[in-house]
Amino acid sequence: MGRAAYIRRRLILMAFVLFGVTIVIFGMVRILPGDPAFLILGDRATDQKAAELREQLGLNRPILEQYWNFVSGFAHGDMGQSLLYRQPVGDLVLTRVPVTLTLSAYAMGLAAVITLTFGILAAINKGRWPDQLIRVGFLFALTTPNFWFGILLILLFGLTLHWFPVAGFGETVPQHLWYLFLPALTLALQLSAVLIRNLRGQIVLTMRSDYIRTAHAKGLSERLVLLRHVLRNALLSTVTIFGLQFGFLVGGAIVVETVFALPGTGQLLIQSITARDYPVVQAITVVSAVLVIVVNLAVDLSYSFLDPRVTYE
Amino acid sequence: MSEKTFGAGPAVPVSLPQFTPIARSRRFHVERTLGVGLTLLGIVVLIAIAAPLLTQYDPLEQHFTEAFLPPFSPDHILGTDNFGRDIWSRIAYSTRLDLQIGLLSVTFPFVFGSLVGIATGYLGGKLDTLLMRVVDVLMAFPFLILVIAIMSILGPGLTNLYIAVGAVGWIPYARITRGETLATRHLEYVLAARTIGCSSARIMLQHILPNVIAPALIYVFTGMVLAILTGATLSFLGLGPQPPTPEWGAMIAEGRQFLLLAWWMTTLPGLALLVVGVALSLIGDGLAERRGG
């Protein structure tokens, strides 16, 4: 299969996955026994309120029509009305998305720096104490609950040392970077824990290959071999995992935003759940899934350009 | 999503098979990983079982005169919280709940996912295609967000937590056993079983299952770490077991408002979570490395 055919296949698959995603979200509230209107209203439910909500959400129409309205609404950016804020869900979510995206991108940047530094350090000291130390340290990072770690950072760097603000997003770009440093670091450490394992393994594996021995034999410096020859190949697989972890990053951002009181989608999601604002929950779930799908596609495609040896299965 | 990718989903140690032979000196290292993990887990389990013997305090009992006592107070080794409840007692009793969450949350996914993986891997055809598409769709959602969305419909609580985690958690097991089964189904002993007329069900359960289950079993430890962290996260967000039930995530949330006044209220339950997570990860890693070598 050539690259064009591969890309075409991936796009068809993506369309299918998008279709599945809408089915899951659409079906979620309807698959359960009982009246969704009562389910959403919870203890606030009265017959009249339920009837109003059914009308508003279109729950009293035929199921196929409901699904069509749901999908075409999303395609047009119309995701219904928020039950809590009484304003269009689309506007509500879109004002929050930039915060979450900035946080995720920042975390990815920090994670890249941390991964490169410690992954290389561990690999060139394979088996010696820096390697062991990094292994143990990031094992802890991997199993540390991120909300707890975030709180510890607030306690230490915010409340005690006063180096960083403990909540909010700031106004200007430098302020954003300053306000978001601790939350981004919280996410980045956990993300790096996964990536460092991979990068270290890949570097160690690559160092054994023949062309590296050749590079050494022709007298290239250790540094040059590492940067030009080893890293370029070792990084390929790490980049793929990096992309695949995007979903994890978005999920983590939800929690970390709550901890650092950032006005992003995470905070909105938690708020909406408590208020049983189902249209908002639905919209955020779909938007996050779409983000993950797009990023994964981008990674897969870029991978096929980065590595000429890649075969399209 | 290409079918070989392993890294999707939350950050948990997915141990890839080792292709390089493990040097003899590493065998010691592997055994040590496993040993430390098992010892830690043993201690945690012991604390869970013997909780009533290890503390004289009821985890729910309130003493307003003894609120906010710091750790190493004469009667309260880890201090007390805003209600004057003994923190060591709350942590110890909560060990039971969190281990239960870890154990119950992986049971259904492990059994269901493994069976689905073996069946689709062995039978192939339309069933297999269908499974892979379902997996693609479910993996498009960030794990935590999908679980939270399900919980938002079911409502908070422990049972709903199991349902939500179970609805998504079976995927890794299905993928692992499916892959292993694909590699096994053309081996001679399977062909031999088929030749002598064994039914498909018998071949899958008696011949294939014992040979493909080990990697799924190893993943159980990763799954438990993930389940416990998810449970704690949900209860931190107010979606898990409801107060005053002692649960580590909920304790961390409660302590947040008193961060400067009583740092121990948030810090200590998190350490407990960390210890359990590290113990289970070490066991998982140790088993995976041992199998690889």
**Which residues of A fall within a CB distance of 8 Å from B98?**
none
Burial B19-55 (b: 16+ CB within 10 A, else e): eeeeeeeeeeebeebbeebeebbeebeebbeebeeeb
Q: Which residues contact B276 (CB under 8 A, 6 or more apart)?
A: B41, B44, B95, B98, B99, B102, B225, B228
- Per the prediction, chain B carries an average pLDDT of 85
Residue A81: its pLDDT value, please?
80
pLDDT confidence of B5, banded at 50, 70, 90? Answer: very low
Residue A244: its pLDDT value, please?
76
Out of A148, A269, A270, closest to residue B273 by CB: A148
Residue B54 reports pLDDT greater than 90: no
What residues 138-157 of chain B have any CB closer than 8 A to a CB of chain A?
138-146, 148-155
Q: Which residue of B has its CA nearest to A21?
A: B137
Q: Which residue of B has its CA nearest to A29?
A: B153
Residue A175: its pLDDT value, please?
86
Reported ipTM: the value is 0.85
pLDDT tens-digit series, residues B223-279: 999 999 999 999 998 888 887 888 899 999 888 888 888 889 899 999 999 999 999
Out of A193, A270, A285, closest to residue B146 by CB: A285
Verify whether the Cβ–Cβ distance B142 to A281 is below 8 Å.
Answer: no
State the amino acid at position A200 in one-letter form: R
CA dihedral A220, A223, A225, A230 (to 10 degrees): 180
Average of per-residue pLDDT across B44-56: 88
Verify whether the Cβ–Cβ distance A292 to B142 is below 8 Å.
Answer: yes
Residue A181: its pLDDT value, please?
93
Residue B14 reports pLDDT greater than 70: no
With CA atoms as reference, report the closest residue to B293 among B21, B56, B53: B21
Residue B12: its pLDDT value, please?
45
**Which residues of B fall within a CB distance of 8 Å from A140?**
274, 278
**Which residues of A fall within a CB distance of 8 Å from B144?**
251-252, 254-255
Residue A32: its pLDDT value, please?
65
Residue A62: its pLDDT value, please?
81
Verify whether the Cβ–Cβ distance A147 to B236 is below 8 Å.
Answer: yes
The alpha carbon dihedral of A78, A61, A42, B168 has a sign of negative
Residue B125 reports pLDDT greater than 60: yes
Verify whether the Cβ–Cβ distance A148 to B266 is below 8 Å.
Answer: yes
Average of per-residue pLDDT across B146-164: 87
pLDDT in tens, chain A (313 residues): 677 888 888 889 888 999 999 898 888 877 766 666 776 776 777 788 788 777 777 777 788 888 888 888 888 878 788 878 888 888 888 889 889 989 999 999 999 999 999 999 999 888 889 998 998 899 898 889 999 999 999 999 988 888 888 777 778 888 888 889 999 999 999 999 989 988 998 898 888 888 888 888 888 888 888 887 888 888 888 887 887 788 888 889 989 999 998 989 988 998 888 777 888 888 899 889 988 888 888 887 777 776 666 655 5
C-alpha distance from B95 to closest chain A C-alpha (Å): 16
Q: Residue for token digits 């797009």?
A: A294
Question: Which of A147, A208, A274 would you mutate first to test chain B, the one with the most B CBs within 10 A?
Answer: A147
